Amino acid sequence: MIVKMKKVTLLLSAKHRDDSLKKLRQLGVVHVQELEAPLGEDIQSLENDIDNLERALRLIAEETSKQEHISPEQVQPHIDDILDLNKQKDAAQRELNELAEMNAWYERWGDISAHSVQTLKDAGIYIRLYIADKKAFKQIDEDKLIHIARDDQGTVYFALISRSADERLNFREEQIPPIEPDDVRLQINQLKNQIAHVNAEISRLSQYRDSIAAYKEDLGKNLELSRVKHGMADAGELAYLQGFCPVDTVDDLKKMADQEGWGYIIDEPDDPNEVPTLTRNPRWLRMIRPLFDFMGTLPGYHEQDVSFVFLAFFSVFFAILVGDGGYGLVFLILTFIMGRKKKSGSREFIHLMYVLSLTTILWGLITGNWFGSKTLAELSFLKIFVIPQLDTFSEMSTGVVMQLSFVIGVLQLSIGHLLAAFQKINSPKALAEVGWVVVLWAVFFVANALVLSKPMPDFTLTLLAIGVGIIVVFANFQKNIIKGMLQSIGNLPLDVISSFSDIVSYIRLFAVGFASFIVASSFNEMAIGAGIDNVFSGIIAAIVLFLGHALNIALCGMAVLVHGVRLNMLEFSGHVGVQWTGKPYKPFKE
C-alpha cells in the first residue's frame, strides 16, 4: 500500500540552523523539498571530493585479503596517492603505446638506424623506404637500385637507394622512427617495469578500501546536509524548509519540534505530483520490489500500489512464457545455490525466484513439457499430472492455451478496472469503470470469435451496448449530463478498439511459450535424433544439448522482460490508471 503523507513546513532559527538540521537528520522522517537552488562553495568542494573518492575506489581492488583501517584524516593523502599513481600509469602507458608502434615498425623493416641513414645522406647517398603491392612493385624500372627488406603476403617493403635527393617513387613513403631500435626496446622494458611498480603500489593501497568507502559515505552525508541547508529559504532571523513525512511519523516530528523550539505547519499536500511515494507491504509481497527497482518504476502518490496483482500475474506470465518445467527446475536449483552463498543478492530477489521457479515447474507438470522431450513427458510419475487439454504434445492444446491467454488477459484487465473503481468509490465515475469491465468481457467474446473461430454468444452485442451505455453516462459525470455524455463519446470508439487490441496482445503468452518448446525440441532432435552409437557422438550430443538449452533459457529470460513485464506495465497499468510517475521517498536521515 502507498503510505499517506503530510506536508511539513519547519521554521528554524537561522543562527542555529546547522545544529537543528543535524537533529532533524537524526529523526530521519522528513523528505526535504528544495525551496532554493542549493548553491555553495562547500557543495562544489564536497562534490569534487566525492568524485575523486569514486575514481579511487574504481582503481583499487575490490577484494583484498587484508584490510587496514585508518582515520578519516589519513584517507585523503592516500586518495591523492592513488590518483597521482594512476596519472603516472596513464602517462607511461601512452608513451609505451607510442614505443610499441615504433617497435612494431622495426619488426617489419628490421633494425634500420635513423642516425646511419642521416650519415649516408650527408655523404650523398639517399635512402627512401616504400611499401607497395607485389604487382605494382614489378613495374618499377630495372635501372632503380632497390633493396627488398620484406615480402609479406603480396606486400613488399623495400628501400630505394640513389645519389639524387630528388629521386622518388610514386608509392607511400615510410618515415624512420627518431629513436634507435635498441633504445626503443630499452625504454619499453623500463616503462613496463614502471607500470608494474605503479600497479603494485595501487594494489598495496587497496588495503584501505573499506576506510575509503566509509569516508565516501561520510562525505555523502555532509553533502546532503549542505544541500538541505542551502536549499532552505530565509526569512530574517528565521530559516524554513518544507517537505513530506508519513502520517505515522508526524507525532515524532511534532515532539522533536516542541523540544527544540521549532515552529511547524502540518498540512495536507496541495499537489499530489510533488509528493514522494512510500510503499509498505507485507514481507511476503516485498519480493516484487527487486523487479520494480530493476525497471526504475514506482507508482505516483495519487496512483495505486498494484504490487499484489503485478506479482500474481507476473508469476503466471513467467511460467507460460518459459513454458518448460525442466527450465523451472534449473531456475530452482540455481536459486538455491545463490541463496546459499553470502552476498549473492537480496533475499527479496531470492524469494521472487523461488516463486517464479515453482510456478514454472507447476506449468510444466500440467502441460507435460520437460526440456521439450516427449520421452520425459511420457514417464509415468510425470504423466499423471498432465491435463490432457493442455498437453504440449497434443494438437488440441494450441487452441486451448490461446484461449487461456485471452482469459488471463480479460481477468487481469477487469481487475484493473475494478481497482480503479475502488479508488473512485465516492464518485459516480466509479460506475464507468464497472462499465469497462462489461465492455472487456464483450470484447473478449469478439476476440474469441475473430481469432479462434469460437462461436460468439448471442448476448455479446447486448453486453457491449450495456457497458458502452454505462461508460457514456458516468465516465465524465457532471451536473450537465448531456455535456458529460458528449465528452465521453469522443474517444470511446478508439478506446473500445484499444481494449480489443489489449486482450488480443495476451496471445503472446502462447506464442512465446510455444516458440520456446519448438526451439527445445529442435535441439533435442539435432542432438539425439539420429541416435548415439559411440562415445564421441555422445559427447557431441551432450554439448549440443547443453548449449542449445542454455541459449533457449537465455531467450526465455529476454522474453519475460520484453513480454511479461510489458503486459503488466502497459496493458494492465493503462486500464488501472497507473502511469508509474512516482518519485521515491528519501528521508533526510543519518
What is d(CA 189, CA 316) in angstroms, rounded to the nearest whole number? 61
Handedness of CA 357, 409, 413, 558 (dihedral sign): positive
Q: How far apart are the first and last CA of the chain?
A: 25
Segment (H or E) for 173:
strand 172-174
Helix axes 429-452, 481-505, angle to 10 degrees: 40
**How many beta carbons lie within 10 A of that of residue 224, not counting itself?**
18
Question: Which CATH fold would you assign to the domain 5-66+209-274?
Answer: Alpha-Beta Plaits (3.30.70)
What is d(CA 384, CA 382) in angstroms, rounded to the nearest whole number? 6
Helix (H, G, I), strand (E, B) or coil at 532: coil
Q: Distances from the Cα of 359 to the Cαs of 14, 198, 331, 332, 514, in angstroms?
A: 59, 53, 11, 10, 17
What is d(CA 198, CA 204) in angstroms, rounded to the nearest whole number? 10
Q: Which residue do the cell numbers 603516472 mark?
A: 88
- pLDDT digits (tens), the chain, 590 positions: 899 999 999 999 888 888 999 999 999 999 999 888 888 788 888 989 899 999 998 888 776 667 788 888 888 899 999 999 999 999 999 999 999 999 999 988 888 888 899 999 999 999 999 999 888 888 888 888 999 888 888 889 999 999 988 888 989 899 999 899 999 999 999 999 999 999 999 888 888 888 888 889 989 888 998 998 888 888 778 888 999 999 999 999 999 999 999 999 999 998 888 999 999 999 899 999 999 988 888 999 999 999 999 999 999 999 999 999 999 999 999 999 888 875 555 889 999 999 999 999 999 999 999 999 999 999 999 999 999 999 999 988 999 999 999 999 999 999 999 999 998 888 889 999 999 999 999 999 999 999 999 999 999 999 999 999 999 988 888 877 788 788 778 888 999 999 999 999 999 999 999 999 999 999 999 888 767 778 888 888 899 999 999 999 999 999 999 999 989 988 999 899 888 889 999 999 88
What is d(CA 40, CA 24) in angstroms, rounded to the nearest whole number? 21
Per DSSP, the chain holds a count of helices (H) and strands (E) of 22, 9
Q: Which residue do the cell numbers 536459486 mark?
A: 335
Domain ranges of the chain: 5-66+209-274, 113-175
